[in-house]
Structure 1
Amino acid sequence: MSSFAAYEVDECRGVLRVFSDGSIVRSPNPSFPVPVQDDGSVDWKDAQFDAAHDLHLRLYKPRHRLASDGPKFPVFYYFHGGGFCIGSRTWPNCQNYCLRLASELRAVVVAPDYRLAPEHHLPAAIDDGAAAVEWLRRQAASPDPDPWFAEAVDFGRVFISGDSAGGNIAHHLAVRFGSAAGRAKLEPVRIRGFVQLMPFFGGTRRTKSEAECPKDAFLNLELNDRYWRLSLPRGATADHPLVNPFGPGSPDLEPLEFEPMLVVVGDRDLLRDRAAAYAKRLREWGKPVELAEFQGQQHGFFTIDPWSEPANELMRVIKRFMDEKRSGSN
């Protein structure tokens, strides 16, 4: 009786390997081993938000408020990218960006992990994103919240952001919590806006930016398709509602309520056309959606180099978006 050794069938950025026998090997090392740029102006720590799945998030808070009686810190969620297959709150590229977000936005940044594919197919990541937001509601409603939230946080000014796959999560949370019933579930937490950073959407029909994407791009078409193949529900296509907001089986978004939304795209990003079309259609339906396009930028430019001038400009755009919602009026 002959035996055959398992062979590698899929690989993602050197940290995820899938074999022909179904086994999966994950490296404990990050895909982007860059140094952490921590100048000490932001405190950070980890907390568990889902005991059942042993999921944690990383909290970042500016070390000092501008004045002891000044405005409290808003809360800014950051869901990492990675095609639903890789990435972590602990990776240094994620930590660098969150340190900068906390410092520049003067906000408490919440960076949750979520279950990854192919061990956990979608919608696991979406459900975990919702659980991370509901954890904040428990903090707000608790008579004994985490000390970081007790005196310095404004639970009435919460923003949800996500990068790539995290942007996809942000879309689904905008749908889930946009209605009156959804908002009521989160009281006393109040979401004031969503920031989708190059959101990871897909579809069976290629867009121009997908078809023309160069093979040496940071996110190329082959890797894009691999992420979807590994993360989709079994038997699903790229027109699944979790992937394509306007697919043939997707729910109608026109009658839904949305909080203000900022959609960020780069004109050299494979995902550019889908994100731009998403923002355009929602705007045509009267939704409060703003599109910010960065010329000459490819996928993930703000985490690849968080201190570049385009990343600086993006930080200014996000801060302006948040400041416009300071009064709580939409």
Structure 2
Amino acid sequence: MESTNNEVAREFRLFKVYKDGRVEKFHNTQKVPPSTDSVTGVQSKDVLISPEPAVSARIFLPKIHDPTQKLPILFYIHGGGFCLESAFSPMFHKHLTSLAAEANAIAVSVEYGLFPDRPIPACYDDSWAALKWVQSHSTRSGTDPWLNQYADFNRVFLGGDSGGANICHSLAVRVGSIGLPGVKVAGMVMVHPFFGGSAVDDEMWLYMCPENGGVQDRRLRPPAEDLAKLGCDRVLIFFAEKDHLRQVGQWYCDELKKSEWGGSVEVVEHEDVFHLRREPEGEKAQDLIKKFGSFIKQN
């Protein structure tokens, strides 16, 4: 009986599935509490957006020098292949602290549902619920005082890496299709975006999304009509030269430029870098932070 329970039915890049239905992930996610960064002065705190389904976020507030100044909002969606990582992990906590300081922006980092506990499309739905929660503060009467007091809702930026960048795309399409009253999404930043592209990655995403449209599912292969609806004027895409997703990311970039969207696309590529593998204090990681921040400061 024990050998039957431990028999593997499917194995993917990030997890394996046993014949009895258990899912074993290949990476365990650590979490750290919110804090105040001693170097930058960026404060962070956690907020509950929805108790059921459970959606929360970590908000980062840069050091305030002028209380009357309104700050842009970076709405960030972490990567992790739709099944790993967290807005509360050490890597993303540090990343968002750096981005909030560099861009002088309020960052809202979303903690969304992950496979297998909550299969796709939970990640898309939770992220939309979080964006709607941010929107609820545009009247200055929301539940979070930082957003009520300091946020500039005419300068909202969507940002994410890998699977998070994929979710950003879907949010931008939704904003462009149905609107987000009281909020202006000024731009979107995609870091090493995931859109499948290989049989391995396509099969993994399709497995995590029981109700799907196959490899041409519009969330996996955005059609021209969706690209034309992006609800922002500017897009910045970061590529890593040795990323296994580099080719499909270029496909997305080319299709966006060919579409009827009409906005501007900026591309930054880092040589000799793999998918999301970068030293936090390394030169290329710092360059990414600076260019990310500069993109937000342009508005």
TM-score, scaled relative to structure 1: 0.78
Equivalence for 2:219: 242
Does the aligned pair in 1 maintain the 2:140–2:148 contact within 8 Å? no
> 1:151 aligns to what SS in structure 2?
helix
Equivalence for 1:141: 139
Equivalence for 1:75: 73
Q: Which amino acid aligns with 1:127?
A: D
Equivalence for 2:54: 54
RMSD after superposition: 3.0
- Render the CA deviation track for 1:76-122: whole Å, top value 9, x for unaligned: 01111111111111211111111111111111111111111233332
- Alpha-carbon shift at residue 245 of structure 1 (Å): 1.4
Partners of 2:296 and 2:5 in 1: CA distance: 54
Q: 1:88 to 1:8 in 2, by over 3 A?
A: farther
Pair 1:288 & 2:255 matched: no
Q: Number of residues paired by the alignment?
A: 293
- For residue 100 of structure 1, the aligned residue among 82, 94, 98 is 98
- Alpha-carbon shift at residue 300 of structure 1 (Å): 0.8
Does the aligned pair in 2 maintain the 1:159–1:192 contact within 8 Å? yes
Partners of 2:158 and 2:222 in 1: CA distance: 18
- Alpha-carbon shift at residue 306 of structure 1 (Å): 2.3
Equivalence for 1:194: 188
- Alpha-carbon shift at residue 60 of structure 1 (Å): 0.9
Partners of 1:145 and 1:262 in 2: CA distance: 31
1:244-283 counterparts in 2 under 5 A?
Answer: 244-246=221-223, 252-253=225-226, 255-259=228-232, 260-283=234-257
Does the aligned pair in 2 maintain the 1:73–1:153 contact within 8 Å? yes
> 1:320 aligns to what SS in structure 2?
helix
1:38-187 counterparts in 2 under 5 A?
Answer: 38-39=37-38, 41-62=41-62, 64-69=63-68, 71-141=69-139, 143=141, 145-179=143-177, 181-182=178-179, 186-187=180-181
Partners of 2:110 and 2:195 in 1: CA distance: 20
Query: Which consecutive segments of 4 or more residues in structure 1 shift more than 4 A?
Result: 8-14, 25-29
Does the aligned pair in 2 maintain the 1:37–1:96 contact within 8 Å? no
Q: 1:145 to 1:9 in 2, by over 3 A?
A: same
Q: Which moved more, 1:103-112 or 1:165-174?
A: 103-112
Equivalence for 2:22: 23
Does the aligned pair in 1 maintain the 2:99–2:292 contact within 8 Å? no
Q: Which amino acid aligns with 1:102?
A: A
Does the aligned pair in 2 maintain the 1:38–1:96 contact within 8 Å? no
Equivalence for 1:233: 210
Does the aligned pair in 2 maintain the 1:123–1:242 contact within 8 Å? no
TM-score, scaled relative to structure 2: 0.86
Partners of 2:231 and 2:25 in 1: CA distance: 37
Does the aligned pair in 2 maintain the 1:114–1:128 contact within 8 Å? yes
- Render the CA deviation track for 1:95-152: whole Å, top value 9, x for unaligned: 1111111111111111111111233332221111111100001122353541212322
* Gapped regions of structure 1 (runs ≥ 5): 207-220, 326-330
Percent sequence identity is 31
Does the aligned pair in 2 maintain the 1:117–1:230 contact within 8 Å? no
Partners of 1:2 and 1:258 in 2: CA distance: 52
Partners of 1:188 and 1:235 in 2: CA distance: 32
- Alpha-carbon shift at residue 284 of structure 1 (Å): 2.6
- Alpha-carbon shift at residue 24 of structure 1 (Å): 3.7
